[in-house]
A and B are shown apart, each in its own frame.
Chain A
Amino acid sequence: MGEIKLMKGNEALAEAAIRAGVDAYFGYPITPQSEIIEYLSREATKRSGMLVLQAESEVAAINMIYGAAGCGKKAMTTSSSPGISLMQEGLSYIASAELPCLLANVNRGGPGLGTIQPAQGDYFQATKGGGHGDYHLLVLAPYNVQEMADFVKLGFELAFKYRNPVMILADGALGQMMEKVELPPPEPRRHIEFPWATTGKPKNGERRVITSLHIEPEKMEEINLRLQRKYKQMEEEEVRFQTINIEDAEYIFTAFGLVSRIALKAMELGRKKGYKIGWIRPITLFPFPKKIFEEVASKVKGILDVEMNAGQMVEDVKLSVCGKTRVEFYGRMGGVVPTPEEILDNFEKMFIKGE
């Protein structure tokens, strides 16, 4: 068993980065995740030799990641909603140039400068590409502090497997709250020479060029097709989700991240009242766990999707069930967190009282 500590989600993520042998962190302070760059500035370099650099902006930070990732190094950044918006250009380039990297969005309420309270309004941005062009990040949604830590190592494994940026989509509450977390033993930083990485032209080989520019349409289409094949492979191999009580369920509550815990509580309250409610938590938001929704669609009377936004993941749920069952949405926005009681109350209004 690993070392057990009581930590904030942000700190757990930072500690996990040191233990995962990350080579470089480039970041810019923004609430509610500044603890990550502070923790790493304090701990990382002296313990693992990780480079920690406070960039002049999120724009610069993501481009530093491009440079470092292009050398085959494990490079990461973290930010919160407005900062992640600034990184979208860089992420589009990283996805197109097929470089591996990890970033975390500790989502706060928006739009605009918004609020520093937790929200899930960046689901579309995270899962549908976010920047220009047809690309996807692989998106992991933690629901507790343990997963804030676990998804760092997993994130890098997936990033290097697919040479694709991976995002941990958390929220302000997961970043700030303290929970028990079991930490893995530290891994040393690795030294691998990747054939695609620019580390100086090989003496017996061709130069390496990292670019997202392909002027000929046929070549650019070929790149696009390669990316799409990669996303298809992710859909086949990387889908992760968790279910509870779906075997006898007449209704499903679904939610990701922090809200999934509240929805789970709402499910328990509902079960006590005699409603046969099951629970599905998508863990990978891209690739989205379509099949499990497809499977339950023909067996249940309805699905209630709960989010801290105006209804974003619900679109993927609807696409997955393809009209086979009723899908309703309940959400709070702007940093407001729903309670289990209000979720159950709305469920009853929508599905039981026939309103």
Chain B
Amino acid sequence: MELEKVDILVEDIVKPENLVYRRPSTLIDVDMHYCPGCGHSTVHKIFMEVVEEMGIQHDIIGVSPVGCSVFAYNYMDVDMQQAAHGRACAVATGIKRMLPDKYVFTYQGDGDLAAIGGNETLHAANRGENFLVIFINNAVYGMTSGQMAPTTIEGMVSTTSPYGRDTKTMGYPLKISELLAPLPGVAYVTRQAVNTVQNVRRAKKALQRALEYQKMGLGFCLVEIVSNCPSNWKMTPLDSNKFVQEVLIPYYPLGDIKVPEVKK
């Protein structure tokens, strides 16, 4: 098939009226270290879009974890603190208690939040700390190259569960969102994904809602995002998104788990 030749100049494409996509001004214009197809970059982008749209770039402080997203501060153009492994919720507690009028968020992976940082996460949630936790669940340790995470599902192969996760000896995949939602200090818990365009749009909405609840002072908000890890799953980005849809989401179903009643 021969494509019809049309005369489009680059100068026309970049005209503001023709613009259909752009990097939010809150996202720094540098190459990301994330692997091709990784969900982190998508979440970074939509979250920074929310920060831009809400006009809160100068009123938000973030905490990056240990893990793949340790360098989140290289991309998000907001004040940030880098926390020790698992301690993001404790660090965020220190920040939010000192600056209660600012927005505060943590951005954590499954190993950081659910394994080594389980206690800090649980108690921050139970105290009803008024900040947002963005929880990227890709069922694997990414930065250290593919070890089993608390959220690795049954039978899933990782470098430390090379024959598949055996729940008899390795325990069960942890559903953090369902675990934290019943706590009275927790205001909002939702599980989202970024494997399809539709899911990306829903995830963005959830992030915005969580920040709005924080402004209302409602308490601990958790946005879990079921994500992918093409490199460590040893899949193409496309196959990894399929794996999210067909294998992970059935175990980690998407949708709101707890929503606060907001008086209008």
Contacts of A203 in B (CB 8 A): 58
Q: Would you give the 0/1 interface string for A49-68, flagging 1 where the beta carbon is closer than 8 Å to chain B?
A: 00101011101110111111
The smallest C-beta distance from A91 to any residue of chain B, in angstroms, reads 10
Are the C-beta atoms of B79 and A63 separated by less than 8 Å?
Answer: no
Are the C-beta atoms of B94 and A211 separated by less than 8 Å?
Answer: no
Query: Which of A69-77, A138-146, A249-257, A331-339 lies at the binding interface?
Result: A69-77
A24-B98, A71-B98 are contacts. A64–B80 as well, Cβ < 8 Å?
A: no
The listed residue (A56, A89, A199, A201) touching B84 by CB distance below 8 A is A89
Contacts of A68 in B (CB 8 A): 94-95, 97-98
Q: Would you give the 0/1 interface string for B77-88, flagging 1 where the beta carbon is closer than 8 Å to chain A?
A: 111111110010
Answer yes or no: A93 CB below 8 A from chain B CBs.
yes
A26-B94, A64-B91, A67-B94 are contacts. A201–B81 as well, Cβ < 8 Å?
A: no
Contacts of A69 in B (CB 8 A): 94
Q: Which of A51, A65, A199 has the most CB of B within 10 A?
A: A199
Q: Would you give the 0/1 interface string for B13-34, flagging 1 where the beta carbon is closer than 8 Å to chain A?
A: 0000000000000000000000
Are the C-beta atoms of B98 and A201 separated by less than 8 Å?
Answer: no
Answer yes or no: A198 CB below 8 A from chain B CBs.
yes
Docked complex Cα distance between A209 and B71 (Å): 11
A56-B119, A71-B95 are contacts. A207–B80 as well, Cβ < 8 Å?
A: yes
Q: Would you give the 0/1 interface string for A167-184, flagging 1 where the beta carbon is closer than 8 Å to chain B?
A: 000000000000000000
Are the C-beta atoms of B70 and A213 separated by less than 8 Å?
Answer: yes
Contacts of B235 in A (CB 8 A): none
Contacts of B95 in A (CB 8 A): 67-68, 70-71, 198
Answer yes or no: A243 CB below 8 A from chain B CBs.
no
Query: Which of B59-67, B189-197, B209-217 lies at the binding interface?
Result: B59-67
Answer yes or no: A350 CB below 8 A from chain B CBs.
no
The listed residue (B57, B82, B92) touching A211 by CB distance below 8 A is B82
Docked complex Cα distance between A225 and B20 (Å): 48
The listed residue (A60, A73, A213) touching B120 by CB distance below 8 A is A60
Are the C-beta atoms of B87 and A201 separated by less than 8 Å?
Answer: no
B-side interface size class: 20 to 34
The listed residue (A65, A97, A213) touching B94 by CB distance below 8 A is A65
Who on chain A is nearest to B97 by CB? A51
Contacts of B97 in A (CB 8 A): 24, 51, 53, 64, 68
Who on chain A is nearest to B102 by CB? A200
Docked complex Cα distance between A65 and B82 (Å): 13
Q: Which of B73, B87, B94, B95 has the most CB of A within 10 A?
A: B94
The smallest C-beta distance from B37 to any residue of chain A, in angstroms, reads 23
Are the C-beta atoms of B90 and A55 separated by less than 8 Å?
Answer: yes
A66-B81, A210-B81 are contacts. A56–B94 as well, Cβ < 8 Å?
A: no
What is the count of residue pairs linking A and B with beta-carbon distances less than 8 angstroms? Answer: 128
A198-B95, A199-B102, A201-B57 are contacts. A66–B83 as well, Cβ < 8 Å?
A: yes
Are the C-beta atoms of A63 and B61 separated by less than 8 Å?
Answer: no
Answer yes or no: B123 CB below 8 A from chain A CBs.
yes
Are the C-beta atoms of A67 and B120 separated by less than 8 Å?
Answer: no
Answer yes or no: A35 CB below 8 A from chain B CBs.
no
A67-106 at interface with B (beta carbon < 8 Å): 67-71, 73, 75, 89-90, 93, 97
Contacts of B82 in A (CB 8 A): 97, 209-213
The smallest C-beta distance from B142 to any residue of chain A, in angstroms, reads 16
A60-B123, A63-B87 are contacts. A207–B77 as well, Cβ < 8 Å?
A: yes
Answer yes or no: A202 CB below 8 A from chain B CBs.
yes
Contacts of A71 in B (CB 8 A): 61, 94-95, 98-99
Are the C-beta atoms of A201 and B94 separated by less than 8 Å?
Answer: no
Answer yes or no: B93 CB below 8 A from chain A CBs.
yes
Docked complex Cα distance between A51 and B58 (Å): 24
Who on chain B is nearest to A206 by CB? B77
The smallest C-beta distance from A286 to any residue of chain B, in angstroms, reads 23
Given contacts A67-B94, A198-B79, A198-B95, 9 further A-B contacts (CB under 8 A): A26-B94, A51-B98, A63-B87, A67-B93, A68-B97, A71-B94, A199-B102, A207-B77, A208-B80
Q: Which B residues fall within an 8 A CB radius of A?
A: 57-61, 63, 70-71, 73, 77-84, 87, 90-99, 102, 119-120, 122-123
Name 27 interchain pairs, CB-CB below 8 A, sorted by A: A55-B90, A55-B123, A56-B122, A59-B120, A60-B93, A63-B83, A63-B120, A66-B81, A66-B84, A67-B81, A67-B91, A67-B94, A68-B94, A68-B98, A71-B61, A71-B94, A73-B98, A90-B84, A93-B83, A198-B79, A200-B102, A201-B77, A207-B77, A208-B80, A209-B73, A211-B82, A213-B82
Cβ-closest 7 pairs across A and B: A67-B94, A63-B90, A211-B82, A68-B94, A198-B79, A64-B94, A67-B91
